[in-house]
Structure 1
Amino acid sequence: MAEPALPRRRFRHLDGLRGLIQRGPLRRLWPTTVRARATVGAVAVVAAALALASFALLGLLEANLLRNAERDAARQAETVARLAASGDLETMRPTLHGVEFVQVVNARGRVLRAYPNLAGDFPLAPVKPLRPGKESHTWQTGPLGGEHRQRVVQVTTETPQGMVTVFVGTSLRDVDAADDTTAAALAVGGPLLLATVAFVTWRVTGRALAPVEAIRAEVAGISDRDLHRRVPVPPTHDEVARLAQTMNTTLDRLESAGIRQRRFIADASHELRSPITVLRTQLEVALAVRDPELWPELISGALQDIERLQQLSSDLLLLARIDAAQPMASARLDLGAVVRDAVEARLGDRVPVRTELAAGIRVEGSELWLARVVTNLVDNAQRFAARRVDVVLRTTGGPYGRTAVLEVTDDGPGIPPGVRERVFERFTRLDDARSRDHGGAGLGLAIARDLTAHHGGTLTAGDSPRGARLVVRLPVANGAGGGAAEGDQPSRA
């Protein structure tokens, strides 16, 4: 059963307080900068600690002085009580140091003895003792009419003449003077201490936040055309220095991304301009030629350029999706089956493709994107192969688990060692690959590497006795470490 809702009116005062803080004068008084908030917080904490320490100090000081005064009075009262019990009140000596007065009263309220300055006075209090004992009292105004408090010890004892009560009092002027002096010192020293704390906190916080302000000012002045600028890194090796280093690292990535984007746009514009220009030329020729027998050839060439434009636009769209880090539909896949399907779906290859695929190698990823990796690598090999293209899939062990290794080799001219990384850059084609007969816009290997990295793997160009050797390495899915290890013989197709 649901609990009944509490009446709204019970919380109206909380809503009013919240509104007062958010919209009222407290909102304007609350500090808005980190420096001011740190100063106010430090002063508030020190003020609270100082207040607690002051109350504790005054309490301990008063309790200690009061205990000393009461001890002197109790010692004198017990001495006089022993004299009264033995009947020797006449031999009572002068009071101890610090004792203001002594008065002895019997059970009928008659003053038997008073010393030194209560002689002839009435009893200090109506006394009707029932049993012997000792009590202590503090009077705001003493029996002598002084301005200081009095601490009185009352001792009742049995004597041959009956119950007798002894009053011994001492002035608390020393206690009051110590309290006043300590309170005055705290009243003067407390604000000075708080002012010192506020000043030191303000200065220290300002010095600590000065690099942050310098970083903020520098970042505020950086536009999309000034990504080469960097924020100053303070030589403090603290959190602010690490923040500046992280900011500079971020600016490095932004600058690299901007340069890459501008280069990509320029290269894409160049690659699109060529087929569009050729296509326009062919269409203009078709319009100018009146011979119907030449139209099929002209239209066939135009369709080839349109197909090239479609492929280029598809590649550009895929690169945009990869750069945007769009999530992929991931599933556990049999990598051997993915490679086999991608190879068998190819029609009209110039040279045959031979496969050696280990069974049972499972990876996490997108079947469409992994098939695109295989297609791009085989396309690249087909452009330059002389008589054969080999696709080998196996696994190899490592310190962090098993790795799936996919190798695509051909017997073409190969890739020189000095340009093996450059072939993976977008719109990069080596001299032997620049003719239109080979086709391609220089995006196939770049797309393959980006898709491989999206799956947590790598794509590199390795050594080969002849031709090019491109190697894909992907992490094997957990619990799916089957397949042929390094040196095992995969199945040959």
Structure 2
Amino acid sequence: MFRAVGSVRARAAAGATAVVAVALIAVGIAVLLVLQKNLTAQADLDAEITVREVASEIATGTAYRDLDLPDADENPVIVEDEQGRVLAAGEDLQSIDGRKITIGTPNGGTGHHNHDEESDDREDPRPGEVDDDDPDLRDGPAVVDGTRADYRWACLEATDTQGRTVNVMAGTSRADEEETIGSVRNAMLIGLPLLLLVVAGVTWLVTRRALRPVEGIRSEMAAITASTDLSRRVPEPASRDEIARLARTTNETLAALEASVERQRAFIADASHELRSPIASLRTQLEVAEAHPELLDLPGAVEDTVRLQHLAADLLLLARLDAGERPKDTRIDLGALAREELSQRVADRLPVRAGELPSVEISGSRGQLSRILGNLVDNAQRHARSQVTVDVRRDGRWAVLRVDDDGPGVPEADRERIFERFVRLDDARSRDDGGAGLGLAIARDIAERHGGTLAVHEGAAFELRLPVAPDGQD
């Protein structure tokens, strides 16, 4: 169990860590991409401003040697004519893309003073003008004062006052951009594992604390299993979470199990007691008959055997009902069933009068419903003075079977107790009549399993209510 609980904590910690890791990696990549895009845009803007400032000076007639060029370490600038001759360059700018820069000599072309296919449709700027189109942007290395670095270049054409078209290139160092991105990336690489460790640790501790009541429940259940003491209960946390509900449900299950076991123990004890009497009586009669055949009370032996047979049948039916046996779904005419059952009771001690018995269809087990009627009539005949009456009627969506007698009735305080197993209000009389106190208990169990109810009203009137069959309703 400890391994199971530990594995739950491990899975929770691993799952939370994995989710956070995926989220942080996605966010980190997005941050780096956005940061790189913004820094690149800033470098583009810086290079474009520089190239336009230099191009504007050329267009206004400033001599190439007098151009105000920025520091080459940050913003290297080069001006070339259409033949690739370097007209001006930033101080200490030594090469671009591996080609050396020498003022006054052809540079071999930087690749940006010639019009490409997309720029063939452009009109050359007129004397003293700067190209209105957006500068061409690209990345490329340059060597400034012996140091090689990456730059973001902006290229723009301009025409001086003499009508000569030149190409101006201005670069912006990407060192700050690379340093910033590198710093952010390194911070993420260092911070991400630390953050994941914190998430895993916190998840582990929180899960451990949350599952601590589960271990209490487990240990108490193990103790209950070992001691077979069903009166014990598991501890219920004060919280209102799922574990608290689990503990309450477990205690409810234990209570139901305890009650069921107690019922079974009482049932076994009562059944043993009820079986002892007819068996002992039958054995005595057989022993007497063995020694003195002329003294054999054959009718008494048969009566005890029948009583024993009925009791065994009742016990077997109760066992099937307790096991959850579901009734058959057969359509039955309750009025016809009552007429048929009453027609077979010709040898009863008292007559049974059939009242109104209209046709009302219900669904269930014919045998079990016949057992209810038989038990109710048997009970009524034990206590009736002169007559028993059976009626059937319909009350909305209910079919009602009523068995009444003219006996003294059931005291109001005992109207629920008589449905308990092995309960007899007049113990000696019921025993003499062959009753074991199971008939009404069986009848109510069958009624409830058919979705109905069985109760006693105004004295000795027993009323069975069963739902009408679905397509038999109005």
Partner of 2:44 in structure 1?
70
1:432: how far off?
A: 5.4
Deviation digits for residues 341-364 of structure 1, max 9, x if unmatched? 222222311111122235242222
Aligned-pair CA distance for 1:163: 3.7
| Residues 430 and 436, structure 2, Cα contact 8 Å, conserved in 1 | no
Residue 178 of structure 1, CA deviation: 0.9
Deviation at 1:313, TM superposition (A): 0.8
Q: For 1:306-339, what per-residue CA distance to the aligned partner results, in whole angstroms no more than 9, with x for missing partners?
A: 1111111111111111001123221222211122
Q: How does 1:389-468 map to 2 (within 5 A)?
A: 389-397=388-396, 402-431=397-426, 434-464=429-459, 468=460
| 1:311 counterpart letter in structure 2 | H
The answer to whether the aligner puts 1:47 opposite 2:50 as a matched pair is: no
SS in 1 for 2:400: strand
Distance in structure 1 (CA, Å) of the matches to 2:16 and 2:142: 43
| TM-fit CA distance, 1:140 | 5.1
Q: Do the aligned residues in 2 keep the contact of 1:100 with 1:170 (CA within 8 Å)?
A: yes
Shift of 1:99: 4.2
What residue in structure 1 maps to residue 276 of structure 2? 273
Which residue of 2 is the match for residue 178 of structure 1?
Answer: 180
Q: Give 1:264's match in structure 2, choosing from 251, 264, 267.
A: 267
Under a length normalisation based on structure 1, what TM-score does the superposition of the two structures give? 0.84
Structure 1 residue 170: deviation in Å?
1.2
Q: CA deviation at 1:56?
A: 1.1
Q: Compared with structure 1, are the counterparts of its residues 220 and 290 closer, same or farther at alpha carbon in structure 2 (3 Å cutoff)? A: closer
Aligned equivalent of 2:192: 190
Deviation digits for residues 417-449 of structure 1 (CA, Å, limit 9, x no counterpart): 112211111111112554533111111111001
Residue 31 of structure 1 deviates from its aligned partner by: 10
| 3-state DSSP of counterpart to 1:33 | helix
- What SS class does the counterpart of residue 473 from structure 2 fall into? coil
Q: Paired residue for 2:101, among 78, 99, 121?
A: 121
In the other structure, the counterpart of 1:6 is none
Larger CA deviation: 80-89 vs 438-447: 80-89
What's the counterpart of residue 138 of structure 1? Answer: 139
- Which residue in the other structure is 1:473 paired with? 465
Aligned length: 443
Q: Is this contact kept in 2: 1:393–1:405, CA < 8 A?
A: yes
2:72 and 2:342 mapped to 1: Cα distance? 114
- Alpha-carbon distance change, 184 to 394 in structure 1, aligned in 2, over 3 angstroms: same
Match for 2:450: what amino acid? H
* Cα shift at 1:233: 1.0
Residue 409 of structure 1: CA displacement? Answer: 1.2
- Counterpart of 1:245 in structure 2 is 248
The SS at the match of 2:139 is: strand
Equivalence for 1:56: 30
TM (norm. structure 2) is: 0.87
Sequence identity of aligned pairs in percent? 46
> What letter corresponds to residue 164 of structure 1 in structure 2?
V
- 1:83 counterpart residue number: 57
- Structure 1 gaps of 5+ residues are 1-29, 483-493
Aligned to 1:156: 157
Is the CA contact 2:77–2:169 (under 8 Å) kept in the aligned structure 1?
Answer: yes
Q: Deviations over 1:205-253 (max 9, x none)?
A: 1111111121122112212731111111111111111111111111111
Tell me, what secondary structure is at the counterpart of 2:30?
helix
The answer to whether the aligner puts 1:38 opposite 2:12 as a matched pair is yes
Cα distance in 1, alignment partners of residues 298 and 361 from structure 2: 46
| Residues in 1 aligned to 2:468 and 2:264: alpha-carbon distance in whole angstroms | 33
1:81 Cα deviation after fit: 2.4
Structure-2 change in CA distance of 1:290 and 1:393 (3 Å):
closer
Matched-pair contact (CA < 8 Å) for 2:453–2:466? yes
SS across alignment from 2:110: coil
In structure 2, the residue matched to 1:289 is 292
What is the CA–CA distance in structure 2 between the aligned matches of 1:88 and 1:360, rounded to whole Å?
119
Larger radius of gyration, structure 1 or 2?
Answer: 2
Structure-1 separation of matches of 2:143 and 2:372: 103
In structure 2, the CA distance between the partners of 1:265 and 1:117, relative to structure 1 (3 Å rule), is same
- Counterpart CA distance in 2 for 1:434 and 1:396 is 36
Structure 2 CA distance for aligned equivalents of residues 116 and 77 of structure 1: 16
User: SS at 1:100's partner residue?
Assistant: coil
Give the aligned partner of residue 125 of structure 2: none
